[in-house]
C-alpha cells in the first residue's frame, strides 16, 4: 500500500518508519529532519533497532496514495488539509491529539476520513533518528462510529507492519476518553513542569479529576455515552502506566512552542452547553503562558 504520512515529527516518523517495512511510505516533514533521512535514512531506536530508507519530502502538494496518514499538531490541521487537497487519496486517517480534526480534514479532502488514536511513545533524538520510548497500540475506525470496510483494510495494512492495531466501531467514545485523559494530564504537567504521575497525588488529583469529569459531561451533551467513572478509570490507568513520562504539552512549553490546548481543554470549553470552570481555567493559564512567550 502506498501511504503518505503528513507530519513526520516524533510520532509520525516512528509510525512511518514502522509502516515502511512493509509498505511504500512517503514522509512529509521539515528540514533538517527530512534532509538527514534523505542523506542517511531513518534510524529507529528504543524498542526497535533498524534503519530504513523511506521516500521523504518537504513538499506535500500533488501527492497520490491509498492513504493519507495525518500526524501534525492540531493547530496545523487546516494547513495540512489544504495541502493534501491538492493530491488524490483513497482515504485519510487522523492520529492527532484533540477533537475536531477529522471534521476539518473532511471539509477539504475529497475522500473518506477515519479517526484514530496511537499510544506509542516516540521521541525525536536528532535529525534522521527517532526513538520508540514505549510500545502501544493504534485504534482506528469511522469518526461517527460503526463498521467500515476501509477501516478494516487500513487496520490490516498496519498489522502487516507489526503495529498493534484495533479496528473499533466506537471511535466517538474512544476519542472523548482520550481527550478526557489529556485534559487532566497535559495542562497540569505542562504548567508545573512535572511528569504524568503527579496528577495521581494531592493536590493535583482533584483538579485532574474535575477536568475529566467535565469532559465526560460535554461528551454526553454531544451524544456520546461516557460516564465520570469511565474517564477516571482511564485517567488512573494512563497516568500510572506513563508515570515517568513527560506529556507532549509539557515538552512544548519547555521548548517555548505553541501547544494543542485549543483542541483539548479549549475544545471542551467551547463545546460545553454549561460552565466547565476547570477546563476553562486550564485553557486560560496555558494560553497566557503562550502569549507571554510569543508562541500563541
- Residues acting as catalytic residues: 178
Q: What are the cell numbers at 260?
A: 494543542
Residue 241 backbone phi and psi in degrees, to 5? -70, -25
Cell of 88: 488524490
Distance separating alpha carbons of residues 120 and 99, to the nearest angstrom: 19
* Phi, psi (degrees; rounded to nearest 5) at 157: -65, -40
Beta partners for residue 138, in sequence order: 118, 165
Q: Are 265 and 284 in contact (CB under 8 A)?
A: no
Contacts of 80 (CB under 8 A, 6+ apart): 6, 7, 60, 70, 72, 105
> Which of 142, 140, 171 minimizes the C-alpha distance to 156?
140
Running DSSP on this structure, what letter comes out for residue 98?
Answer: S
Could you tell me the CA-to-CA distances from 272 to 144, 176, 217, 268, 279 in Å, in that order?
A: 19, 13, 8, 6, 10
Cell numbers for 155, please give them: 487496520
Cα(153)–Cα(224) distance, rounded to whole angstroms? 26
Cell 504537567 locates to 189
Spatial CB neighbours of 217, under 8 Å, sequence gap ≥ 6: 228, 272, 276
Amino acid at each position: 500500500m502506498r501511504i503518505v504520512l503528513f507530519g513526520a515529527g516524533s510520532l509520525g516518523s516512528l509510525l512511518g518508519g514502522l509502516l515502511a517495512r512493509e509498505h511504500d511510505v512517503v514522509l512529509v516533514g521539515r528540514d533538517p529532519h527530512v534532509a538527514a533521512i534523505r542523506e542517511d535514512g531513518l534510524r529507529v531506536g528504543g524498542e526497535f533497532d533498524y534503519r530504513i530508507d523511506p521516500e521523504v519530502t518537504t513538499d506535500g502538494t500533488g501527492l497520490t496514495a491509498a492513504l493519507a496518514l495525518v500526524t501534525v499538531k492540531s493547530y496545523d490541521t487546516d494547513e495540512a488539509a489544504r495541502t493534501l487537497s491538492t493530491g488524490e487519496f483513497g482515504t485519510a486517517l487522523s492520529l492527532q491529539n484533540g477533537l475536531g480534526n477529522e471534521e476539518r480534514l473532511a471539509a477539504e479532502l475529497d475522500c473518506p476520513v477515519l479517526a484514530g488514536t496511537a499510544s506509542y511513545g516516540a521521541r525525536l533524538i536528532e535529525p534522521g533518528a527517532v526513538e520508540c520510548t514505549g510500545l502501544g497500540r493504534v485504534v482506528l475506525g469511522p469518526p461517527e462510529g460503526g463498521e467500515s470496510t476501509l477501516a478494516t483494510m487500513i487496520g490490516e495494512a498496519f498489522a502487516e507492519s507489526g503495529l498493534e492495531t484495533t479496528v473499533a466501531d466506537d471511535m466517538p467514545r474512544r476519542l472523548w476518553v482520550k481527550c478526557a485523559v489529556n485534559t487532566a494530564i497535559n495542562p497540569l504537567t505542562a504548567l508545573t513542569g512535572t511528569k504524568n504521575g503527579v496528577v495521581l497525588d494531592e493536590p493535583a488529583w482533584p483538579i485532574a479529576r474535575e477536568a475529566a469529569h467535565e469532559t465526560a459531561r460535554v461528551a454526553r451533551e454531544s451524544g456520546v455515552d461516557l460516564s465520570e467513572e469511565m474517564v477516571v478509570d482511564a485517567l488512573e490507568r494512563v497516568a500510572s502506566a506513563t508515570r515517568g513520562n513527560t506529556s507532549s504539552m509539557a515538552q512544548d512549553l519547555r521548548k517555548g512552542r505553541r501547544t494543542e490546548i485549543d483542541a483539548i481543554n479549549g475544545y471542551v470549553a467551547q463545546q460545553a452547553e454549561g460552565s466547565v470552570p476547570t477546563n476553562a481555567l486550564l485553557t486560560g493559564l496555558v494560553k497566557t503562558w503562550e502569549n507571554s512567550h510569543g508562541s500563541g
